[in-house]
């Protein structure tokens, strides 16, 4: 009964308010309590290499006051930092519905799935309780999705049959993703609908509105289609809203029709979801009409859809201004008239950073610093959260942060570490205090403390010694974060390199992998010419061999130079252990080239080695050469190809 009453009251209130709303929809949810159905939390990870293909900076500044002092470029960074994520469930479909997704750390703020959401989620726009949300489409399937289960079952049943795998890829509404072309088409339709609404409202005194587009993120992987085809993937960010309903949107057919979607709307009567929309306005119909010979009831036969995908392909080829240009051109015929409306003038006020907002922010920082000095625990915690939300903590806050990091209150230490992360300069005494928190044994405290290390100058006197002391007692995930902190420091320090080389002898493959990558990035010379690294090409773990090869390529070594250095280690003046490892490494490296004359000469030499183990290894490979008429790999998952890849 309470649930029904809540829905009834909320729906009635929103419907009454809808008549006076403008395009700047005042009914968007600001915190979780605003949702009628409490959304379910889901798990997401960051996507590496994402980029902003398009953004409406004015709409973002209008709807999120915390952005009003930021430049367009800074807002782009904010978009990637907060919203370039994918669900962990979607990763299960790598190789089936998409190419491998390059992922980073878990997205700690998380995101939420309102009722009936599958490929979309609501993502917090900041750390404050009322920071607001952005609704994201194309973010991947929800946790434990039935669609993922049946696709994986069908894949197993296909037994590698290409036709059956293509059948899975052709199934509609099942990949969990959104293509870049679809996101562009959705945005062009929404922009047309809203501008036509603004003109209609100005002429007739109505208050029609739409759920507006905020941004499009280009994701660095592709959606797999049938017949070997693929298309670029994207995330589409729009205004968060309450409810989605099919039908009931009282918008004239002279503006748009929606044969499939029935003019979908939110609870507050804003138009939403434009995948089925055909723009009918006479001034714009030429840009949105169905292509000659196309199905008039199929929006994928429209120019908006076709041109959106052409634009996506151009962006993926590197034409990065093309999306802005295309979206602008699609509504070009009404642009001049639209700019005369009150809605356009109101939005124009947010087209550039507001100097008043910067001044207001300065005053606000003073107030936050005053709150930070308070004896009231709740006020102090709010102040720390505020600095973390701004992602810029002033140096004046350092003494208080140091004090709180030394307190016995875990919540205070977590918040203080999170605020410390955003200090421009982190002196040695702060880093040592953070290390004390890493050593605390409290998981959340350790997590936030090590995050505060990222991009710090770890070459300051005594820091590496302190890091080494803290490192040994940490669980694996914290150890990996410490290595990441060293990687992001970008410093070539002798003590750092020595520490990392020590980790290469570790027993954990993940630590070895991380250490190798970091050595490759930070070292100025080429440590991979050293015997210890060359012999790692014979490591039993494929991922470690691959990491060493990638590092060697990063240092501009080619496959022949590596093979020659390995062969030099097979001379009689080296002991059996070194010779055996060198031969194994050469076999792995030459693995794709069983017919390579150099390879055969090497094996014939190995077949005469005094070591029985080496002779046996050589004979096995020589037998493979005799038994095959075409090049095959010497071992499963051979790694010689790593050095021929386009990227390290």
Lowest mean pLDDT among 15-24, 167-176, 527-536: 15-24
Q: Per mean pLDDT, which of 34-43, 253-262, 486-495, 536-545 is the most reliable?
A: 253-262
Inform me whether the pLDDT recorded for 518 exceeds 60. Answer: yes
Beta-bridge partner residues of 51:
218
**CB–CB of 371/397 below 8 Å?**
no
**Average pLDDT over the chain, rounded to whole?**
82
pLDDT of residue 636: 32
Residues 579-620: tens digit of each pLDDT: 888 888 887 776 545 556 777 778 888 888 898 998 998 888
pLDDT at 85: 96
Res. 459: pLDDT tops 90 = no
- Other beta carbons within 10 angstroms of residue 477's beta carbon come to 13
Helix, strand or coil, per DSSP, at residue 125: coil
pLDDT-derived band at 240, boundaries 50, 70, 90: very high
Cα separation, 163 vs 153, whole angstroms? 16
Integer Rg of the chain from CA? 29
Q: What is the mean pLDDT of residues 517-522?
A: 81
Q: Which one, of 504, 433, 444, lies nearest residue 475 by Cα?
A: 444
Residue 575 in tokens: 């002991």
CA 540, 545, 549: angle at the middle one, nearest 5?
165
pTM for the predicted model, two decimal places? 0.59
Rounded to an integer, the average pLDDT of 145-156 is: 94
Provide the terminal-to-terminal Cα distance of the chain, rounded to the nearest Å. Answer: 60
465 alpha-carbon distance from chain centroid: 34
pLDDT value, residue 129: 67
Is residue 208 within 8 Å of residue 251, measured between CB atoms?
Answer: yes
Closest by Cα among 398, 487, 393 to 434? 398
Instruction: Determine which of 105-114, 319-328, 422-431, 625-634 has the lowest per-residue pLDDT on average.
Output: 625-634
pLDDT at 542: 74
pLDDT band at 155 (very low <50, low <70, confident <90, very high): very high
Does 621 or 75 have the greater pLDDT score? Answer: 75
The pLDDT assigned to 646 comes to 36
- φ, ψ dihedrals at 243, nearest 5°: 75, 150
- Note the pLDDT of residue 38: 62
For 561: left if phi > 0, alpha if psi spans -120 to 50, otherwise beta; the answer is alpha
170-209 per-position pLDDT tens digit: 998 899 999 999 999 999 999 999 999 999 999 999 989 9
What was the pLDDT predicted at 642?
Answer: 38
Confidence class for position 146, pLDDT limits 50, 70, 90:
very high
Q: Would you say 562 and 609 are in contact if contact means Cβ atoms under 8 Å apart? A: no
**Mean pLDDT, residues 495-508 taken together:** 80
User: Is the pLDDT reported for residue 276 higher than 80?
Assistant: yes
Phi, psi of 330 (to 5 degrees): -65, -35
475 pLDDT tier (thresholds 50, 70, 90): confident
Confidence check: pLDDT of 15 > 60: no
Buried b / exposed e over 38-59, threshold 16 CB at 10 Å, is ebeebebbbbeebebbbbbbbb
pLDDT for position 528: 76
- Compute CA distances 16 → 24, 267, 334, whole Å: 16, 11, 31
Residue 19 has pLDDT above 70, yes or no: no
Distance CA 324, CA 332 (A): 12
Averaged pLDDT, 376-398: 81
How many residues are listed for the chain in this entry? 648
Percent of the chain with pLDDT over 90: 37
pLDDT of residue 403: 92
Express as a percent the part of the chain with pLDDT over 70: 87
d(CA 39, CA 29): 12
* pLDDT for res 223: 97
Q: pLDDT-based confidence at 455, cuts 50/70/90?
A: low
> Which has the higher per-residue pLDDT, 72 or 537?
72
Alpha-helical segments (H) within 250-374? 285-288, 303-316, 322-330, 332-338, 342-348, 355-372
Over residues 50-105, the pLDDT tens digits come to 999 999 999 999 999 889 888 899 999 999 999 999 999 999 999 999 999 999 87
User: Of 320-324, 368-372, 481-485, where does mean pLDDT reach its minimum?
Assistant: 481-485
Q: What is the pLDDT of residue 370?
A: 85
Residue bearing the bigger pLDDT, 66 or 2:
66
pLDDT at 422: 84
> Residue 153, SS3?
helix
pLDDT tens digits, 334-359: 999 999 999 999 999 899 887 766 66
Q: How confident is the model at residue 34 (pLDDT cuts 50, 70, 90)?
A: confident
Domain extents in the chain: 2-348, 528-648
What average pLDDT does range 116-133 have in this prediction?
A: 84
Q: Which residues pair with 106 in a beta bridge?
A: 45
Whether 513 shows a pLDDT value over 50: the answer reads yes
- Residue 86: both structure tokens together: 């994918």
The CB density around residue 485, as the number of other CB atoms within 10 Å, is 21
What's the pLDDT score for residue 596?
A: 65
The answer on pLDDT for 303 being more than 90 is yes
More confident residue, 209 or 523: 209
Buried b / exposed e over 549-564, threshold 16 CB at 10 Å, is: bbbbbbbebebeebbe
Tokens matching residue 477: 């995930």
């Amino acid at each position: 009964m309470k649930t029904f009453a809540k829905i009834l009251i909320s729906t009635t209130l929103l419907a009454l308010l809808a008549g006076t709303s403008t395009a700047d929809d005042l009914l968007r949810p600001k915190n979780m309590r605003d949702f009628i159905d409490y959304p379910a939390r889901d798990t997401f990870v960051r996507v590496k290499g994402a980029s902003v293909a398009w953004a409406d900076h004015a709409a973002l500044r209008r709807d999120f006051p915390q952005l009003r002092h930021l430049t367009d470029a800074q807002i782009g960074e904010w978009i990637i930092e907060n919203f370039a994520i994918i669900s962990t469930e979607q990763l299960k479909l790598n190789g089936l519905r998409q190419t491998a997704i390059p992922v980073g750390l878990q997205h700690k703020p998380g995101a939420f799935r309102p009722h009936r959401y599958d490929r979309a989620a609501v993502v917090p726009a900041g750390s404050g309780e009322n920071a607001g949300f952005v609704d994201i489409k194309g973010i991947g399937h929800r946790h434990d999705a039935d669609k993922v289960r049946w696709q994986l079952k069908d894949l197993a049943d296909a037994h590698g049959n290409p036709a059956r795998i293509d059948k899975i890829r052709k199934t509609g509404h099942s990949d969990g993703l959104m293509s870049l072309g679809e996101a562009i088409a959705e945005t062009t339709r929404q922009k047309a609908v809203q501008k036509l609404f603004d003109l209609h409202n100005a002429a007739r005194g109505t208050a029609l509105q739409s759920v507006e587009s905020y941004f499009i993120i280009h994701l660095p992987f592709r959606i797999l289609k049938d017949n070997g085809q693929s298309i670029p993937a994207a995330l589409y960010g729009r205004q968060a809203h309450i409810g989605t309903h099919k039908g009931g949107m009282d918008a004239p057919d002279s503006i748009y029709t929606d044969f499939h979607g029935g003019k979908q709307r939110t609870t507050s009567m804003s138009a939403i979801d434009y995948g089925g929309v055909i723009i009918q306005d006479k001034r714009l119909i030429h840009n949105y009409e169905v292509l000659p010979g196309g199905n008039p009831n199929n929006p994928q036969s429209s120019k908006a859809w076709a041109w959106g995908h052409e634009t996506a392909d151009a962006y993926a080829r590197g034409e990065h201004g093309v999306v802005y240009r295309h979206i602008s051109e699609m509504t070009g015929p009404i642009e001049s008239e639209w700019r005369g409306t009150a809605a356009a003038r109101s939005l124009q006020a947010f087209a550039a950073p507001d100097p008043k907002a910067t001044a207001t922010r300065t005053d606000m920082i003073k107030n936050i610093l005053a709150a930070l000095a308070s004896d009231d625990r709740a006020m102090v915690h709010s102040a720390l959260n505020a600095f973390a939300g701004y992602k810029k903590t002033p140096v004046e806050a350092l003494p208080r942060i140091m004090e709180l990091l030394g307190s016995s209150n875990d919540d205070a230490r977590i918040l203080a570490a999170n605020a410390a992360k955003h200090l421009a300069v982190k002196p040695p005494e702060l880093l040592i205090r953070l290390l004390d928190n890493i050593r605390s044994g409290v998981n959340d405290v350790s997590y936030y403390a090590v995050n505060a290390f990222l991009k710090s100058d770890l070459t300051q006197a005594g820091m590496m010694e302190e890091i080494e002391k803290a490192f040994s007692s940490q669980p694996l995930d914290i150890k990996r974060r410490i290595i990441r902190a060293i990687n992001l420091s970008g410093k070539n320090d002798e003590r750092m390199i020595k520490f990392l080389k020590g980790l290469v002898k570790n027993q954990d493959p993940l630590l070895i992998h991380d250490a190798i990558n970091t050595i490759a990035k930070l070292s100025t010379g080429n440590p991979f010419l050293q015997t210890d690294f060359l012999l790692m090409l014979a490591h039993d773990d494929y991922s470690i061999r691959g990491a060493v090869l990638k590092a060697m390529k990063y240092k501009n070594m080619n496959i022949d130079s590596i093979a020659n250095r390995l062969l030099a280690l097979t001379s009689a003046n080296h002991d059996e252990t070194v010779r055996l490892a060198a031969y194994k490494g050469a076999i792995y490296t030459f693995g794709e080239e069983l017919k390579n004359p150099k390879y055969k000469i090497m094996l014939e030499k190995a077949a005469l080695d005094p070591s029985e183990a080496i002779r046996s290894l050589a004979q096995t490979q020589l037998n493979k050469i005799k038994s095959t008429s075409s090049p095959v790999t010497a071992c499963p998952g051979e790694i010689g190809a790593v050095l021929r890849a386009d990227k390290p």
